[in-house]
Chain A
Amino acid sequence: MTETLSEMTENDESIFSSLHCILSPISKATGSATFTLNDSLCTCLLNGPGELRQQQDAINRLQVDITFQARPGSNNTNSTSTKDKLIEQWLETLVHSTVLTEHYPRSQINIVIYEEQNLSGEATILACLCNTLCLTMLDANLPMKYAFAAVPIILHPTKGLLALPKTKDELASTTYFVFVFEITLNETLAMHASGEFDMKTLEQAITIAKPIAGQIFQFYRQELEKRLS
């Protein structure tokens, strides 16, 4: 298990102090990562590619099985809520778009994501989940077309658009965006938005989020370099 903390650069706009990550905390999984974004913490583990169950049918591509486990006890029952299922489906589209599924026919990968701590609202936790997933896939050495990073942006009633918001700001706002960018061309890969906004705000948010995504990619590079050196 390698634990790495990122250094603070002299840049005032550096975000590295709000990002922490631990690679391979779970020894028996093919790949695993724990990622912290401000006040949210997620752990993800990946097993595979392995045998397919007989009922499943994935002849010429990889079968991806994602389970998202919110904090246990928040439901009455043990089953996943509809919101969690939405998150699972969203993440599954991300995985399908980036992993080279044709390289592993008749196999499956199992991904389990646990949300460990969430003091802020939905934006930070969604972004945290995405980034944890990407780091896990990188840790598992799964062949990917590109790495991706998610940036949460909120529309604060008085302070305007804030990227990587602090908990206090996030709880005070009702509108948020989460943009997922990919590393090769820094284009938008996926997005999720909630609340009231107009197209101009959306485009402004995208322009604010792009450089932040670049910094997150730098963070990934740093972590993996530390691990491989």
Chain B
Amino acid sequence: MKELICSTIERNVVLKCIRDRKRLDCRTIDETRPVNIDFRSHPGYVSVTLGQTHVIAQASCRITKPKESRASEGHVRVHLDMSKIPLINLENWKHQEFVQELNGILEQNIRHSNCIDLESLCINAGELVWSIKIDLIVLNNCGNILDCANIATLCSLYHYRLPEVSVHGSDIRVYSSIERRPHPLRILHFPINVLFAFFIDGRYTLIDPHSDEERLMDGFVSISMNQHKEICGIHMGGKLGLKREQIDICKKLAFNKVLELTDRIRQVVLDYYKKLEPITHSQPSIVRIDNDDDDDSNDHNISTTENEDIVLIKPEISPSLIESNVSLLQMPNLNRLSLTEDDPSGTIGNLASEPENDEE
């Protein structure tokens, strides 16, 4: 499936509008489209729409061996999949190049900015660590997939709950979500990405381009920043030559958007867990708000001990279903791991169907 070709008339109309500092959807040049964040009942599953651009994200975890050079750090991987949408720029190789570029930017923003505390993902130093993977799928491309995917990744990471693990000597036990409530990931800061599109030799700038505008842009600058005014990543794509003052203006604009979005993401996830009703396996609706962020300005991260009076109800569930409960957990084939309390002798349980792949 290919996208529609952009006609010359369309191109001229859009460029004329940009020269007059107007946009086809009546936004100002520094206005972003409304963001809509929706969670599903599975932890880590989020569906984000930025205007009409729609991206879904799902987080999953695995237990793997750590890298030898970093024996006590877990892994985080992000993968953006754009194979099901119509080909961008009409050619398969251009589409693939675009996908790879976006994947690279996302990886730089999430992995290299250290937004997750990787040492908190360690189970047994040198032997076992958690490896988190975020799978992003683009459902609809209406421009600016990068920002949408970035927001989806952050929401998914903040929403995800990691199963509890206990280490007794050489015995390692992973608890399902009925036995012990899974805990959230330790996120240190939120690197939010803001995309600026440049037109006509870099003279005109737009924030958050629509799909028509994105097709006609000369190039883009994507600035990834957190609320502490630290730049987590900056990337320039396309054929552009820019002055330093232009980048400075972009940074200033980006910072305002970053503040709004960081608050929004935090609020949305907290609201979700506050009103979480007991789902299938009767997860309790207690929210354990950890003080994971070193941010002083956030006042609603207070410990909520008054909520912990709700009784955990354990329904009768046949043992084969417990594995679906441990949210998307894959286990390596080691003898010392046990999945449930009933199996202390160290057999793996029902999840040993897939032997572990080689360390990636």
Question: Which residues does A use to contact B, with CB under 8 Å?
Answer: 25-29, 39, 41, 43, 45, 47-48, 50-51, 67, 69, 71-78, 110, 112, 114, 116-117, 119-120, 167-168, 171-172
Contacts and interface: CB of A to CB of B under 8 A. Distances in A.
Interface of B: 1-2, 40-42, 45, 47, 52, 54, 56, 58-60, 62, 79, 81, 84-86, 133, 135, 137, 139-142, 211, 279-280, 315-318, 321, 328, 330, 354, 357
A71 B41 contact: no
A6 to B, nearest CB: 20
A43 B139 contact: yes
B42 A72 contact: no
A28 B142 contact: yes
A68 to B, nearest CB: 11
A26 B139 contact: yes
B37 to A, nearest CB: 14
A167 B282 CA distance: 12
Contacts of B54: 25-26
Contacts of B59: 73
Q: Point out which of A27, A71, A117 has the most chain B C-beta atoms below 10 A from its C-beta.
A: A71
B86 A47 contact: yes
Contact of B280 (A45, A47, A110, A171): A171
Nearest to A43: B139
B41 A117 contact: yes
Given A28-B141, A116-B45, 13 more contacts: A39-B41, A47-B1, A71-B42, A71-B58, A73-B58, A74-B328, A76-B62, A76-B357, A114-B137, A116-B40, A117-B45, A120-B280, A171-B318
Nearest to A119: B280
A114 B139 contact: yes
Nearest to A30: B1
A114 B81 contact: no
Contacts of A74: 60, 328
A69 B280 contact: no
Contact of A171 (B40, B133, B317): B317
B210 to A, nearest CB: 12
Contact of A73 (B84, B135, B140, B315): B135
Nearest to A28: B140
A3 to B, nearest CB: 12
A50 B90 CA distance: 14
Contacts of B318: 171-172
Contacts of A167: 280
Contact of B40 (A29, A41, A76, A110): A41
A73 B133 contact: yes
